[in-house]
Structure 1
């Protein structure tokens, strides 16, 4: 999820069926999946082996949905493949463990601490003295300062998708020596650990032309275990090679070749030795179990599916109608149908900010009220009675009452998602039980978000949002109250339901400035309850992550929220690896 000050901006994450983070956000090295609630690897399932058991060398072929439209993670067109490339080639100051908790990356940081809160918050980063770019230059305060100035939102020459956090910085200076960076904030910022990940070299961020154009197709320098060798649109590949100037544990692989492959073709391609790593769809997972040439891994994924209700006008502008729809939906049945056949936990998701596999998760869905057919029918009847009553006193009331019974709602789905198709049919049956007709519109994948969700051309829609370790910042544009723009349009940021309140905004703003994690969590919990009560965004379940591997692959699989350690991925010594 991303923050944005751009009107009507599409979400950075994208995919065939929803706005979800791609494979880059989920294939990482963290450990095995069997652990306690405090296990940092909980919620992951990987083919985990010690580095000593992984052979040196080899080329790993990794399936992606598409080539990246940009290698700049801060541009609107960035996607899952962008994040995979930058995760392997650029600094990530804080990584997430399997419970979604930020952990300092010692390859880049010796320490990072809030060293002052008065009169302003100051964070001191002490860099690993060995950290340097592949051109030989040390990572320093100039890289931090150039990225801040590019992303703070003051220079319109930079085509940025987000500036959250960077817009709160007032100064960046070198500290006691060249290895210390001191960042000063105008006001307290709780999610400071989210900043400078990825960190770009100042050759990318110091000039708008480099930021906007040059960084779309290449990176002038790397500072990760891998570097970008080539982006080949004709072959549909991005080739990453071992970074010879990497100071950490050397990458086991010589190359990672990211290859655009249709999802339906991936299991057969791995079984035939043409691919090594691929995320696969639930419809292919059961059949793939019968193939001994695959190693399958599953975990609760790094995103959640939701039902969005467009509350901008018409019947769904009435909160009672939204509540009737939300209470009629059998979320448990939807979660069971999607997850139980895969052998994953199938409780419905009860939180807009935290996934069930995250540390601190709590279910706040009770704020929606009693979820059953009887209460849903009563709410709908009350709203319908008002709709047929006296003339409305103002335009706002008119928008809430301009409908007749029986009510018909349009449910928009992307055409090529069998899983969403099945969920849509179930939702239509649930709504029929309270007297609502559902007209299901299956639209082309490439127009689903652009022409329907983002533009507001829907009543109901099924799509997904990625999870985040920084909900007060990252989730705010998704739930921010829409505001009128000078031209008469509505500035919705990423709140495509177009429903929000001043109280939700205030609670998230307070959480973003709260440096005490416990207090911040209480504030986001209160905001979550109010979002449930608004009944515009109805979380259904945490999406599954299903990954197929070639049998010899080590240290890859389904990793949920955790961040990659690309240097440890490779082929096992104990198994004869295919010739490359």
Structure 2
């Protein structure tokens, strides 16, 4: 803030003028003129404005796509930006349990005097987006409408149970009615989006968030976004109704790991978020005690899906043969590079290792220490294949499996290539494809059950995919393993889950867990053994980031639950830094 001479108010000026007139009317002679012999200046010299407080955060990569609700955009940077700028109704408390976000909300409660399960939300009057409009019911409506019908979204189950969202009291009260009781309702309406800017925008849900968020409902807003330079500049949001941010500016700066490590060492970067392998961890530890390191598990499990709706994997014996051909530990090593994520091996189909209540559900002895060629041969032979000319052939056609991994997801591509190498070693032919995220999750894995002969682009047999988890484990189970839902507006069956799995015998148990009729633990005890015996997915590891914080910045907290360190960004106190012209 610039500091200059104090401006005299009009009232004070008038008073001084009046005193001057009065003094001019007296008979006293004017005081003699005396020359000053002091060298003290008669006014304060102009001072330089204080430099803004800046925190520069080094990140691995910056690429387009920041919708936190779609699978294709999942990344640590999306996690960070959504925590900074997109408000949530409930947030993790100190113990990880969901608590009301009192900065955004006045209240959220289940109404007792209604025939249907109904929740009333009251939004704070002052809560507004950085471009002026209030955060209101239309933002709830927009998120509900998108998540219940768009393909490739994360945990849509709770939103599909909603029958109506009503706006009241100028949009500051929201009344949400559910078709069935839903005990997991506190997991809904995370990371609200500015509906007034998205609902009619060209590209809307699919493309508008490719370059950040057009407005913010948090303590910072995007000032500059440069994919080419790999930099995002966040300025304090002057319209934020909550406590003002301690720092003036947050800069996210993408660089390769060696550059980020050097920047941490020199002080040009005060905070780093790394997807670290073993060598990166060694280099980080070499930075000394001035850099504090924390492993941050992400709400995502890296999983190999074996899709039973694929013609080549429709036979469970073939799926089991594929698993018998794999060295699971080698796949984990390929994906993690021996980094901290390797210490979070996943041995359950729904919960991630760091979640409360996680216990391994994998049957003992299900996977050998390495490939089992004899079992591979036996299972494929039982499925009608013959080994001839170095290939497995049935009905004149070789077994050739298509393995998909998202383009530019380095760890997923590494796992997919390792799967291919291991299957090839057992004479199972493979093809690895790396489609872009939108194509993979919105089209290729979200198979329409109404199409008997899916297009060639949907012919994916195996996929290395992100499996997000949420605060509502029952809804996660339903999203990942439930049968296709029916769109309440069109009556049309929606897409399969990513694995293309549906068990009509399990479906009542899954639905009962979502509505609270059956506790999640009891439902899981029935669902998990069926998934393992069906060989439809091989969980590998929970993804993790390493947070590196220097002593130059204070106020950085790990974040309860999966909130992450950027949930405390308003409390970060950075060092004085250079100003930006933009």
* Pair in the same fold by TM > 0.5: yes
Please give the secondary structure, in 2, of the residue aligned with 1:554: coil
Please say if 1:279 is aligned against 2:281.
no
Name 2:514's counterpart in structure 1: 512
Superposition deviation, residue 420 in structure 1: 6.0
1:343-492 equivalences under 5 Å are: 346=343, 348-366=345-363, 369=366, 377-378=374-375, 380-387=377-384, 402=395, 436-437=426-427, 446=436, 450=440, 454=445, 455=457, 459-474=461-476, 476-481=478-483
Corresponding residue of 1:132: 128
Listed as ranges, the matches of 1:236-315 within 5 Å are 236-262=230-256, 265-275=259-269, 276-282=271-277, 283-292=279-288, 294-313=291-310
- Residues 400 and 256 from structure 1, CA distance in 2 versus in 1: closer, same or farther, beyond 3 angstroms? farther
Secondary structure (helix, strand or coil) at the match of 2:505 reads helix
Instruction: Give, in whole Å, the separation in 2 of the partners of 1:210 and 1:556.
Output: 36
CA distance 1:220–1:322, change in 2 (3 Å) = closer
Q: Is the 8 A contact 1:553 1:571 kept in 2?
A: yes
- Correspondence for 1:225: 219
1:326 aligns with 2:327: no
C-alpha separation in 1, matches of 2:94 and 2:417: 33
Deviation at 1:253, TM superposition (A): 1.9
Describe how 1:490-501 pairs up with structure 2 within 5 A.
493=495, 495-501=497-503
Change in CA separation of 1:567 and 1:385 when aligned onto 2, cut-off 3 Å: closer
Relative to structure 1, is the Cα distance of residues 379 and 341 closer, same or farther in structure 2, using a 3 angstrom cutoff?
closer
Q: Distance in 2 between matches of 1:60 and 1:324?
A: 49
SS at match of 1:189: coil
- Cα distance in 2 between the residues matched to 1:266 and 1:400: 50
State the Cα deviation string for residues 538-558 of structure 1 (Å, max 9, x = none).
102223322334442335486
Match in the other structure for 1:111: 107
Aligned-pair CA distance for 1:357? 1.0
In the alignment, does 2:310 pair up with 1:317?
no
C-alpha separation between the residues in 1 aligned to 2:494 and 2:136? Answer: 37
Kindly indicate whether residue 79 of structure 2 is the aligned counterpart of residue 89 of structure 1: no
Give per-residue Cα distances to partners, 1:257-287, cap 9 Å, x unaligned.
2334345643234334444433233142223
CA contact (8 A) 2:295 2:544 kept: yes
Query: TM-score normalized by structure 2?
Result: 0.69
Tell me which moved more, 187-196 or 439-448.
439-448
Secondary structure of the equivalent of 1:562?
coil
Matches of 2:545 and 2:287, distance apart in 1: 19
> Which runs of no fewer than 5 residues in structure 2 stay unpaired?
1-50, 387-391, 446-456, 486-492
SS in 2 for 1:532: helix
Give the corresponding residue for 1:542: 542
Unaligned 5+ runs, structure 1: 1-54, 390-398, 484-490
| Separation in 1, partners of 2:84, 2:557 | 16
| Alpha-carbon displacement from aligned partner over 1:360-395 (angstroms, at most 9, x marks no partner) | 212221289575779984575155145169xxxxxx
Tell me the alpha carbon deviations over residues 445-483 of structure 1, each in whole angstroms, 9 at most, x when there is no partner.
758974997445555443432332234434544434579
Change (3 A) 1:119 1:294: same
- The CA distance in 2 between the partners of 1:524 and 1:116, in whole Å, is 30
**TM-score of the aligned structures, taking structure 1 as reference length:** 0.69
- Distance (Å, rounded) in 2 between the aligned partners of 1:58 and 1:92: 25
Considering only aligned residues, what root-mean-square deviation do their CA atoms show, in Å?
4.7
Partner of residue 25, structure 1: none
| Counterpart-to-counterpart distance in 1, 2:413 and 2:203 | 42
Report how far residue 296 of structure 1 moved.
3.2
